[in-house]
Each structure stands twice: as C-alpha cells, then as structure tokens.
Amino acid sequence: MTRVGIVAKPGGVKAEAVIHRLLPWLAARGLSAVIEKETASLLPDVSVASASKQELASQVDLIIVLGGDGTLLSMARAVGDLGVPLLGVNLGGLGFLTATTLDEMFPALEALLTGRMAIDERMLLAVRIFRQGQCLGEYGAFNDVAIMKAAMSRIIDLSVSVEGRHATAYRADGLIIATPTGSTAYSLSAGGPILFPTMDAVVLTPICSHTLTDRPIVLPGTDRIEVTLLADQEVMATMDGQIGVGLKERDTVEVRKGAARIRLVHFPHKDFFSVLRTKLKWGER
C-alpha cells in the first residue's frame, strides 16, 4: 500500500482537524495521500494531490471515509468494481458501516499496515430502469433500492417478478429491495429481517402494505427482480436514499446482484454481532 485516499462528509467541519492530523501520520510512514476534491476544499492551506470522487478509487490502494454511513454509501458506489478497501471512521451518529471510532483510527491504520485487520466483502446491487422497453439509466446501490410514493400520493400498485416469473403484487406505500448490508437500514425500520452482511441474498420489504399478510421475503442474491408500477402516480425509485428517479406508469425497475464486491476494513474483534450489541443495544435491559 503506497497511496491513501481521504474523503469526508460534505461540509464536515470536524473532519478538517482529523485530516490535519492524518496527513503527517501517513507521510511519516512513506504513504502519500490523495484527497477527494470537495473534501480538499476544507483545507485551503494544505497542498496535496486531489481527485474527484469518481476518479479517487482508481488512484489509491485504500480509502479512509470520515463521516457517517451516508458518506460511505456514496463512496462505495463510486468505488464500484475497482475493489479498493474502505475504512469507515465514524464522525457522525449511529454508524453501522463506519464502525471504527475516531480514537481507533490510527490503531486501525497501524494494524492494516501489518496485516492485522479483517476485510469483509459485501454485495452491491445493479439497478436498471426501463420505460417502454428503453433503459433510462443504470445505477448502483449498496444498501437498498426503495420504490415509494410521493408525499401526497395514494397507495401505490406494484407488480413483482422474480427470474421472469410473476411473484406477487403489492398495494402499499412502497417497497424496499435491500442487500444484507442494507438490512439494518430502512428495511429494518419497515419491519424487515436482519441478514448477516456477507450473505448472498436480498430482502424485499413492503412499506405499510394494504394487505396485512404481506411480509418481508428473503431471496437468493442471484435472482433477477423486476418491479413494475401499475398506476399513473407520483412515485420515485431511490438508490441508497441518495439518487432518485421519477417513475411513470408501466415503468420497470430491474434489480440484480452487481458484479462488484465492496470491501470494508474492520478490526477482527469487531464482528457483526458486536456491532449489533453496540448500535442496537442488544442484550441490554
């Protein structure tokens, strides 16, 4: 490892002081830094190489993400199939993905340099949206794809096919298609199950279904899922809650397992269950 990328939450004032400490630490160990361009604007007095978010992953061997889970989600989509490991350092709130605390950042980097850190590989979703047989766009999603009504819209009607076979129809406020990583995010809030993060699976979680017997379902990660909007209503498809596309009647959202695997760095002792105990207060009264 010779080059380390640094990206922070946009406008993250707290990150400025962290980066000022981080740069000399890296330099003392013979590592050069490349800072994401928007992050570099936090440090106008520092002369260091910079790159756009889309270019950063192709120029470095590791990316340190300073912020919360939203910052890491955005960077994970930008990394895509390049396979660059991400070390998430939590400067925000809950931090399921950015599980390394600020106090643990330098010990984590020391451990990484000596091969004592673990790296999990997580699945990414590949999303395509079709209108009248034409592909409107292709997107990645690390947590989930959510198909939801607009604020004043009625209950929406959706048809779901799995591997080209009709599976079910939903009348609901929406539908979440989540990765195992995303199973502890929006899907969990909507009543979905928690999946072990390295599983090869997806979960379909209806949002406030009109039919009480509709329940979340876990599907193999290899299955192709197609969700078609059946009525002319104001509906959005959002990827990781950060990218939104308006849908029209008969539009189809196709979701597959992406070819890329996102690599997350963590301490070996910080396994998934320790994160659940810490973040969800499992085992506490």
What pLDDT, in 10s, does the model give residues 82-116?
A: 999 999 999 876 678 888 989 999 999 999 999 99
Looking at residue 285, what is its pLDDT? 63
The residue count for the chain: 285
In this prediction, residues 253-262 reach a mean pLDDT of 95
Looking at residue 13, what is its pLDDT? 72
Looking at residue 233, what is its pLDDT? 87
Question: Is 285 within a domain?
Answer: no
Question: Is 251 within a domain?
Answer: yes
Confidence of residue 194 (pLDDT cuts 50, 70, 90): very high
Please tell me the distance from the alpha carbon of residue 194 to that of residue 187, in angstroms, as a whole number.
Answer: 9
Question: Is 65 within a domain?
Answer: yes
Please write the tens of the pLDDT for every residue from 198-251: 999 999 999 999 888 899 999 999 999 999 999 888 899 999 999 999 999 999
Which of the residue ranges 86-95, 159-168, 182-191, 241-250 would you say has the lowest mean pLDDT?
A: 86-95
Cβ-in-10-Å burial (0-12, 13-18, 19+) of 145 comes to: buried
The answer to whether residues 103 and 193 belong to one domain is no
Where residue 243 sits, what CATH number does that domain have?
Answer: 2.60.200.30
Cβ-in-10-Å burial (0-12, 13-18, 19+) of 241 comes to: middle
The answer to whether residues 156 and 235 belong to one domain is yes
| Residue the block writes with tokens 């919360």 | 68
What is the token pair recorded at 149? Answer: 């009504």
Count the domains in the chain. 2
The answer to whether residues 21 and 43 belong to one domain is yes
Could you confirm whether 69 is annotated as catalytic? yes
- Residue tagged active-site, from 69, 144, 173, 214: 69
Where residue 83 sits, what CATH number does that domain have?
Answer: 3.40.50.10330
The answer to whether residues 47 and 134 belong to one domain is no
Residues 6+ apart with CB under 8 A from 205: 175, 176, 178, 187, 190, 191, 192, 216
Report the relative pairing of strands 100-101 and 86-90 from DSSP bridges.
parallel
In this prediction, residues 20-45 reach a mean pLDDT of 93
| Residue the block writes with tokens 């061997």 | 61
Question: Is 233 within a domain?
Answer: yes
The answer to whether residues 12 and 103 belong to one domain is yes
The answer to whether residues 249 and 131 belong to one domain is yes
The answer to whether residues 138 and 12 belong to one domain is no
Element spanning 26, H or E = helix 13-28
Domain enclosing residue 98, as ranges: 3-117+267-279
Q: What is the pTM of this model?
A: 0.92
